[in-house]
Amino acid sequence: MKFILVFSIFSVVACGSKKNNAQMNLEKEGMIEGVVSISKDGSACPVTILSDAAVDSKGFYPVNLDKSFHKDGLEIKFNYTLSRAPLPTLCEEYTAIVIDAITNK
């Protein structure tokens, strides 16, 4: 009986590992391209990512974009998850996202 329990736990853990590896490969292959835009005068959303993937909005508002990517005009590739974070003032026309993976283009 203990053998069956240990084998079952091992099987679940092993399958989970395969999914994570598959997800990592998909992230590398299916990354979205975009351009970082920084508002210098405070009259617009402070940090956005402009991308053709933003269909129903002007672009993306990344809630967790690392400071090293805060460079106006920086071309990037990224994966994201939609965020429920409230949008700051002046960002209502953007879609809030959480960056899952990011790299320079």
Give the tens place of pLDDT for each residue, 1-28.
444 444 444 444 444 434 344 344 444 5
CA atoms within 13 A on the CB side of 22: 6
Sorted by where each begins, the domain ranges of the chain are 1-30, 31-104
Reported as a pLDDT band with limits 50, 70 and 90, residue 66 is: very high
Q: Which CATH number fits domain 31-104: 2.40.50, 3.30.870, 2.60.40, 3.40.50?
A: 2.40.50
Q: Is 18 left (phi over 0), alpha (psi -120 to 50) or beta?
A: alpha
Check: CB of residue 73 under 8 Å from CB of residue 105.
no
pLDDT at 43: 82
- Positive/negative CA dihedral, 69, 73, 74, 78: positive
Which residues have a Cβ under 8 Å from the Cβ of 22 and sit 6 or more positions away?
none
Pairwise pLDDT comparison (42 vs 74), residue with the higher score? 74
pLDDT at 9: 44
Q: Is the pLDDT of residue 85 over 60?
A: yes
Q: Is the pLDDT of residue 62 over 80?
A: yes
Reported as a pLDDT band with limits 50, 70 and 90, residue 30 is: confident
pTM over 0.75: no
